[in-house]
A = this chain, B = another copy of it.
């Protein structure tokens, strides 16, 4: 069953007339707004209480809807969770790319592997711990709820995300700056970073920049070169 577009204009539509060209597809725009609101509320509640402990009624109430209405936007509760994760991963990927591009553009010469890692770690902390960043923790801690097909969809994005890291870690290992088996080193690095979702408090003693510096000091040795 697909979600059909609403057949009628809501009668609480804004009274103010649109100037200039007509608002295209007021319904669609509203639809997008409500859908986005649901995703944001779901991400926050899923993170705070867990997927199972959050009822679709909780989510509906958080955005001022009645209990049945979320199912107008999402086929079921699982699909809502999958959408939270996919959007989170897509945004994380976009953010990572933007940060890398900006760093490359800002640097006078080519970036060292060390500099690349700094950018990747810093943007990872943004994605994990920054404002409005519940999506990724939800992905990390509610993974098992997804169906196999949903996992595959999110995994495609995760692969893209990790693909940026691999050559950087390889280069660091070649330089002797990173020890251990590469695959396990990567998993442990992500573990160290992702674990911060469990203990980091934004107003605490350390900023995300501080975390980033500590990460580099902890994981990198002096290069051979």
Q: Tell me the A residues contacting B by CB distance below 8 Å.
A: 49-53, 141, 144-145, 178-181, 184-185, 187-196, 198-199, 206, 210-211, 213-215, 217-222
Contacts and interface: CB of A to CB of B under 8 A. Distances in A.
A208 to B, nearest CB: 12
A195 B190 contact: yes
Given A50-B52, A221-B221, A199 B179 contact: no
B184 A214 contact: yes
A179 B213 CA distance: 10
A19 to B, nearest CB: 50
Contacts of A193: 188, 191
B196 A195 contact: no
Contact of A214 (B188, B192, B206, B213): B188
A145 B51 CA distance: 12
Given A192-B191, A195-B195, A211-B184, A179 B218 contact: yes
13 contacts: A50-B52, A50-B144, A141-B141, A178-B218, A179-B220, A180-B218, A181-B210, A184-B210, A188-B196, A191-B195, A192-B192, A219-B219, A221-B221
Contacts of A215: 180, 188
A210 B192 CA distance: 18
Given A185-B218, A191-B194, 15 more contacts: A50-B50, A51-B52, A52-B53, A179-B218, A180-B213, A180-B215, A180-B218, A184-B210, A187-B199, A188-B192, A188-B196, A188-B215, A191-B193, A191-B196, A192-B195
Nearest to A214: B180
Nearest to A221: B221
A206 B53 CA distance: 36
Contacts of A221: 221-222
Q: Which has the most chain B C-beta neighbours within 10 Å: A49, A178, A185, A192?
A: A192
A215 B178 CA distance: 11
Contacts of A218: 178-180, 184-185, 188, 219
A158 to B, nearest CB: 12
A213 B180 CA distance: 8
Contacts of A211: 184
